[in-house]
Structure 1
Amino acid sequence: MTETETFETIRLTSDVVLLAAGRVLLIERGWDPYEGCWALPGGHVDAGETSLAAASRELVEETGISVPVSNLWQVGTFDTPGRDPRGRYVTVAYAATIPKAVPPMAGDDATAARWWPLTALPPLAFDHADILSAVIGSANPNQ
């Protein structure tokens, strides 16, 4: 008997946890899945792009806030099957801390962007609560 290999399409994304003064920057999603829900800024890694470059780009596109790539540190890879209802998605999460919360401007597929107190978060889309927990429980090697 011969085993048959099966392959599934896996999409790569990047997410960003941006912290400032006890707050985290979130975007309100403009379309499904989770339209109208709050999430971390992030999105697909483009062809020829690193996950780090994608994280930086998506942060600017969705919030108007730019953070130097050198200030982003990798939190980890999140790849639990079923974390995204569209199919198999793997995300590389990054984090950064800035001294104060600067006003965001929603763009791209975000209908809103705002700073939320870490003590009063809305329900988060996908597994973004797990990603945020990983950041809060870790030490930033860049500080």
Structure 2
Amino acid sequence: MIDHNKLRILVEQLYSTVNELELMFPGRHFTPDGHMVGSLGECLVADAYNLELMPASNLGYDALTETGLKVEIKATQAKSVAFRSKPPHAIIIKIAPNGSFEEIYNGPGELIWNKFDGKRKPSNGQFQVSISKLRLLNQEVADSERVPRAI
């Protein structure tokens, strides 16, 4: 069982440490990124939506709902996220320094993937979609198509 409060506190401590390092070394950035942000996002979302996490780097999805829906989880601190393939369902969040997060998108992966229709796959194999476009897409998702939050 996940200790929800401890998870939030640990994430908050991580960002506090980042802030301290940036104050200690002006002009240097210690922003968590890459795998760390992805893993933090997966854990925060799995906890908040009561999802079962799959092993790291699972192909095509990161977690399952209680009903077996496959969910791709994306976390960011930037202005976009990347997709290699169409996820069955996607939950995309922006992590806040206090250990909370903002839900950017929660809905069918097809709505996102349709934005890439007819476009040539980039050389790195990843399509980028902006947070602002995802927020707009999120407004098109019916409540019945969202994974409900547990906490």
- TM-score, reference length from structure 1: 0.27
Per residue, is there more helix in 1 or in 2? Answer: 2
Per residue, is there more strand in 1 or in 2? Answer: 1
- TM-score, reference length from structure 2: 0.26
Question: Which structure has more RCO (C-alpha within 8 Å, separation ≥ 6)?
Answer: 1
